[in-house]
Structures are given as structure tokens and as C-alpha cells.
Amino acid sequence: MFKVSQEMRLNTQAAASSASNSSGSGLEGNSPEEGSIFGRYQRTPDADAYPSELPRVYVAPELTDAGRVQLLHFPSGAVRVDSAVGFIIKRNGVKGNFEVRVEGPSGQPIHPVQQQQLDPERFQIDCQLAAGAGLYKVHIKCNSVTLPRSPFIIVAIAGIPESIEVPILDSDVSKIHSRGLGLTHISLVERNEFTVDCSQAGSNMLLVGVLGQRGPCEEVMVRHLGRNIHKVTYRVCDPGDYILVVKWGDQHIPGSPFNLSAE
């Protein structure tokens, strides 16, 4: 804004000439000063221009942080052709709609792709891999924003021959010892863990699963520490009752299944 007065000349001669021409008389012989008005005026830059259009209001779409969205139980290994595949989309507070599109090995879309809302935070996605063996691409968007690492890849292979010989393993599940807070208490804040000592139980596979009211938990990891001793960590996000199953081959280890509660 101008803070000092400025001297301005308002030339009204042109306006007066126009008015006189319309009335049939002229202002011949008048000097520019006679047709002008002098004065001192206070003006600001805003006074020089007036809006000729109504103000416009632009509404921008809500920003979507697609990096916060998680995929739970997405197939990490190869699956068989013509099998059903399902996974869960967890929004983690991100608002908006999800768009899921699955492409077969030839690039053709796979139909149908079923989407079911389990709760305000989770969506169940199911589809059938019926387009032959190869790579299937899963494209996921939230509010038209592509998720990081999308498209996700599912590897489909031909059927496994039925005549597979399973070796008979010599093991004794009664000699397994387990310990750790993860066997008796569940924390919603940190990862839960326990150890399973199979050093005296022979040869077999350690199988671990955690099941809640809404299905398997978000994460289960089994790490071999050596000498047939395993460290198990798992993480849950929802309060409620859970069942922890630990098997050595086809048999439960002592104490399994464990009934736990998260609060």
C-alpha cells in the first residue's frame, strides 16, 4: 500500500467531448488543463484493478499416503495353476477406495476379482489363477494412487505330480523343550518371541501358526539358531483370544496348542 499522497491528473476532456458530440455541441478551443481536474488522492495497488470474474474455489482431492497400506498373507512362493489365491489389504488409517486388477501371463485381465470388507481397516481379495502357468501381476491403487511395489507378482506353476515319496523321519516330539514369554503372554506393542529346542528330538520340520478371531496373525517368523534350536517371533495387532500351534512334523510339541489372550 502507498503510504504517501500522489498527485494525479484526471483527464475528463475525452468524456466531455463524447457527451457534447451526443448532444450536438462541442468543446472546441478548450485546453487540456481546462478539461482536466487536478487533486491529491490516496491510492493503493489494489485500487488499480478490479476483479472482472467471480472468485473461483478449487477443491483438491484428499492426499493419499499409499505407502502406509499393507498386504497381509500375500503369496510369497509359487502356487499351483487353477488354485484360489487370497490376501488382505490393510489400510492403516488411509482413507479412500481400493482398486485391484489382476493380469494373467498373457496380459489379459483375470475375472472375477472379489473384494470383501472384513472391517473398517481390512479388505479380503480373492481370485482364481485360471489363465495357465506363468507370472500373474496384481495392480493395486488407492484413490487412483498406485501402491509402492505394485504390480505385485504371483508365480503360478503346473500341478505337482501326485506320486511323491515322503521320507519317514525319525523324531521324538516328547524331547522338545520350549520357553519364552510368547508362550504365555501376547503384547500388542512389540513382537512376541519364544524358543523351541529340538536338539534331542531327531529330524523333522518345525511348524508354527497363530490363529485369532479374524484369522491368522499378521506375522510369524521361524529362525534356526543352529543345533536344531529355533527362535520364533510373531506379531498381532488386535486384542482378543489366540491359539498358538507348534508342531514337530505332524505332532504337537508338549503344551501345544497354547491358548493366549491379547489385551
Let me know whether 151 and 178 are in one domain: no
Whether residue 149 is found in the same domain as residue 193: no
Is the omega angle on the peptide bond into residue 105 within 30 degrees of 0, that is, cis? Answer: no
Rounded CA-CA distance 149/123 in Å is 19
Task: Give the pLDDT confidence score for residue 218 in this predicted structure.
Answer: 81
What are the residues facing 116 on neighbouring strands?
124
Among residues 157, 189, 215, which one ends one of the domains?
157
Judgement on whether residues 200 and 141 belong to the same structural domain of the protein? no
Separation of alpha carbons 91 and 117, rounded Å: 11
**Domain total in the chain:** 3
Report yes or no on 75 lying in a domain: yes
At 130 the pLDDT is: 87
Question: In terms of domains, do 132 and 204 share one?
Answer: no
Would residue 97 count as lying in a domain? yes
Residues 190, 143 share a domain: no
Closest CA to 219 of 70, 91, 68: 70
238 falls within a domain: yes
Residue 32: the pLDDT is: 46
CATH of residue 140: 2.60.40.10
247 and 178 assigned to the same domain: yes
Q: Beta partners for 221?
A: 233
Same domain, 76 and 143: yes
- For residue 97, what are the domain limits? 66-157
Q: Please give the Cα distance from 22 to 26 (Å, whole number).
A: 9
56 falls within a domain: no
179 in a structural domain = yes
Distance CA 7, CA 245 (A): 91
- Give every strand in the sheet of 114-119, ordered side by side: 70-72, 84-90, 122-128, 114-119
Q: Is residue 167 part of a domain?
A: no
pLDDT of amino acid 167? 63
Output the pLDDT for position 1.
44
75 shares its domain with 103: yes
Looking at the fold, whether 80 and 41 belong to one and the same domain comes out as no
194 and 138 within one domain: no
The rounded distance, in Å, linking the Cα atoms of 99 and 177 is 47
The pLDDT assigned to 2 comes to 44
Residue 79 and residue 132 share a domain:
yes
Residue 86 falls inside a structural domain: yes
Whether 19 and 102 share a structural domain:
no
Residue pLDDT tens, the chain, 263 long: 444 444 555 555 555 555 555 444 444 444 544 544 545 555 555 545 555 666 665 554 555 788 889 999 898 878 888 889 999 999 998 888 899 999 998 889 998 999 999 998 999 999 999 888 889 999 999 988 899 889 999 988 886 555 555 566 778 999 999 999 999 989 988 899 999 999 999 989 999 999 888 888 888 999 999 999 999 999 998 888 999 999 998 899 999 999 999 88
**Length of the chain in residues, anyone?**
263
Residue 163 lies in a domain: no
Q: Where are the beta strands (DSSP E) in the chain?
A: 6-11, 36-41, 70-72, 79-80, 84-90, 98-103, 114-119, 122-128, 134-142, 145-146, 152-157, 177-179, 192-197, 206-212, 215-216, 219-226, 229-235, 240-248, 251-252, 258-262
Maximum pairwise Cα distance, the chain:
125
The model's pTM is: 0.41
